[in-house]
Structure 1
């Protein structure tokens, strides 16, 4: 149970401003924290809320993080205008009824909240008894409290936080929590607007496919399907969705049968503005509907993911440095990582290191740092091949330790073991693990396409790279997908296809050296020497320190492909 301290006074002094800041807190701080800790708001009280959780530890962690984050968020406001919460936490089964929750446990949480200091959290002894591993927290024993309208006293504890005790008010703090605050999204039940009952099952299946695919994207928090069921067959109010589910984005859709065709319309809404930021219509024959369902769901997910990434990057770039968290640092790094000029690339590494420093338990920055070292070697910038290749393995291991289901880390490590250590068996095993844990992850598919090509199974590499392109045809990684597809076509001796896809890669990322090398070798293979030399000149311009003799020692292709590829690079005019 959470309540705003002196809400009436704040509203009387500045009603519009207070309401606007409270709404901003809900969307930017409170709702993401609740979703990340598997919490759900079940009732809004105007000046606070009631939330339920799946575990006592989640509830306590969420309360603690909320207080720290709200304090940091409000630090720039004058003391008399700051919004602060009192929070009470108790653990007991409750009764759900429509948009409310009842039971003795709710009353206890409410009374604990009423005695909490501003910015503080008061917890029942019941919760502490049933919670596991609370070593990260410290408490002040408040003893047996006789609370209003409760016949029995409640043994309670105050969560110790800087500046908070039984009588003080939380002081200002500009330090935000280091926990990575990921954007959250909900897929609401699609509406069947035709009279056919069977279309409802199709709509529900579509929602399930989209949720599963979105859940494979590491940078998104996706609300479970069960939490969205109250919105079934209802008019959708963005504010209500935000307040009830604690999300920044939601997806809704409509299904209509018209004769022998099924029509599907999908919208993506940003709840901070209430605007529909992306919409699409799909139309297919009824007989083919289940055959194309996965394909349409995949396209929808890619569109959603691409928009959310763009929106979140813009949001992060607008933030002042002192308010950045681990996820924001990661976004800023990714905005620079794929530009492939040395200054941007070097800056990306520093931002990834800051993301790790902010949240040492957040797996994603470790995975992308491993990718950074991978590219650093591949582009010829590494001054210590052994150290950088070891870092690929170390950093990907750090990510896997923190998140065993991080498909990007598994795939990068698999690719790295094959590419830098020629440990193809381990590489294949790791890539298979990546695909097993996240079959809709385009990075997993494209990195898993490399090793088959290295060992002479280019057809498998082609199929996997094509799958990555279907999953991410327009995303940040499209240039890499095109390059790996071109590389596998080269290894399959389909040189015209290799030229076509390598050119596509260079059109998207002109400074990506690997694509230039594949293109140059492919042009030599078909005797187009003048064009190959032009590509070689471009390669010298973007990577002046690159030497074929250095690359020959680490070329991952099995013989005779390795030696032949190196000879063709020399023939194209790349410096030896």
Structure 2
């Protein structure tokens, strides 16, 4: 890796030139990564600092959600001589990432913070400590940790920003953002409103790949939850939206993540694994793709590999705002391994995230039966019937995603013993 030398610049002298060269800001959030401060006396550390800055900028660009300013502009600022608000004005960006690197012996610490330059407010800060073994692995790990933390924080800040905008003034990006928290509520009304917002987003900006991908996810959710006309019709709408998302942007990891979720629902686990791995290849910090990959592995009986994927995702993105899919994969993996105590405990963690997802109560009920906890099993079935009245064993036979016949039988027998009617 070639290093580069930072040369001090006269901010006032170049401000006019930079302002003229920067394009007007789009409705999407704009971001600049400043060069990290090297707090070590070791001159050779400059190569490592440069590498992290360049890799972080590249990683954030891979999300396809933000306009990331080129390093030739953002890296030229002396981070000790310019305030983030000034960078925001000069580069026409709302968010600025800054920080420092300190080395002591065989330990290294990277500190970073994210600033909203329009509000002059720090919205996130953290530090990452590690031993120095393989310098390239260390650089990759730190970049992934920073990227997976920064992207959700910007998304949260942008969602909050849209709450103050009049409905008549919402842009395509604003409609997209407003849909995201609705998707997490997992109710019929919220999902329907999210579909409406994402449709408006695409009406305003045709072929907005990320909005199409989220629209596909809404329809998959509707298929799972028996919303809409039929699960089959919702699945067809999901397929259509995901195909359009990939066509609009073949390098958008979110589009392949949505495609993986569709393949999981369709029980095409090989295709799901390929789509999820493609999403991860495009953006290793996209935590939801690890969930789709783990779910496909768990349902197909590769429980230990699924748990390993979930562990890796937790390391990459410990603050993931929606880890529900990989949490479900953990539940399934433990059930497949007949570790019913662990399956029950993980079901309870999942319910804290998404209490309205009916599938978790089928696994909770069966796990409790095999633990000899019949009252808890009956309570789980009662909650299932609150979500989907009239649900039966016969109906669930069409909804069991476990590929192994013995695993399917154990689940259905457990649900029957928990008190769910056969037909």
Length-normalised TM-score, structure 1: 0.66
More displaced 10-residue stretch of structure 1: 261-270 or 425-434: 425-434
Output the CA distance in 1 between the equivalents of 2:290 and 2:411.
24
Change (3 A) 1:548 1:181: farther
Cα RMSD of the aligned pairs, angstroms, is: 2.7
Extract unaligned runs of 5+ from structure 2: 1-12
Output the CA distance in 2 between the equivalents of 1:226 and 1:525.
61
User: Shift in Å at residue 243 of structure 1?
Assistant: 2.9
User: Shift in Å at residue 191 of structure 1?
Assistant: 1.0
Matched, 1:565 2:411: yes
Length-normalised TM-score, structure 2: 0.87
CA contact (8 A) 2:242 2:259 kept: yes
Which deviations, in whole Å up to 9, do the C-alpha atoms of 1:441-490 show, x marking residues without a partner? 11211112222222222222222233333333333312332122212222
Change (3 A) 1:425 1:526: same
Among 445, 455, 458, the alignment partner of 2:290 is 445
Change (3 A) 1:410 1:546: farther
Among 84, 89, 98, the alignment partner of 1:252 is 98
CA contact (8 A) 2:288 2:323 kept: no
Change (3 A) 1:364 1:510: same
User: Shift in Å at residue 339 of structure 1?
Assistant: 0.8
Match of 1:50 in 2: 20
Output the CA distance in 2 between the equivalents of 1:459 and 1:444.
18
CA contact (8 A) 2:263 2:271 kept: yes
Matched, 1:542 2:387: yes
Change (3 A) 1:455 1:509: closer
Match of 1:358 in 2: 204
CA contact (8 A) 2:264 2:292 kept: no
User: Shift in Å at residue 505 of structure 1?
Assistant: 1.2
User: Shift in Å at residue 208 of structure 1?
Assistant: 3.0
Matched, 1:276 2:136: no
Q: Secondary structure at the match of 2:361?
A: helix
Change (3 A) 1:276 1:431: closer
Output the CA distance in 1 between the equivalents of 2:73 and 2:226.
49
More RCO (CA 8 Å, sep 6+): 2
Matched, 1:479 2:296: no
More displaced 10-residue stretch of structure 1: 236-245 or 187-196: 236-245
Output the CA distance in 2 between the equivalents of 1:364 and 1:260.
41
Match of 1:75 in 2: none
Change (3 A) 1:462 1:191: same
Match of 1:189 in 2: 35
User: Shift in Å at residue 289 of structure 1?
Assistant: 6.8
Change (3 A) 1:286 1:44: closer
CA contact (8 A) 1:326 1:358 kept: yes
Matched, 1:222 2:222: no
More displaced 10-residue stretch of structure 1: 545-554 or 194-203: 545-554
Match of 2:8 in 1: none
CA contact (8 A) 1:380 1:546 kept: no
The answer to which structure has the higher helix fraction is 2
Among 156, 159, 168, the alignment partner of 1:310 is 156
> Pairwise mapping of residues 519-558 of structure 1 onto structure 2 (< 5 A)?
519-544=364-389, 546-558=391-403
User: Shift in Å at residue 43 of structure 1?
Assistant: 5.6
Q: How many residues align?
A: 409
Among 388, 393, 399, the alignment partner of 2:239 is 393
The answer to which structure has the higher strand fraction is 1
Output the CA distance in 2 between the equivalents of 1:432 and 1:327.
27
User: Shift in Å at residue 271 of structure 1?
Assistant: 0.6
Q: Secondary structure at the match of 1:266?
A: strand
Change (3 A) 1:485 1:284: same
Output the CA distance in 1 between the equivalents of 2:277 and 2:162.
34
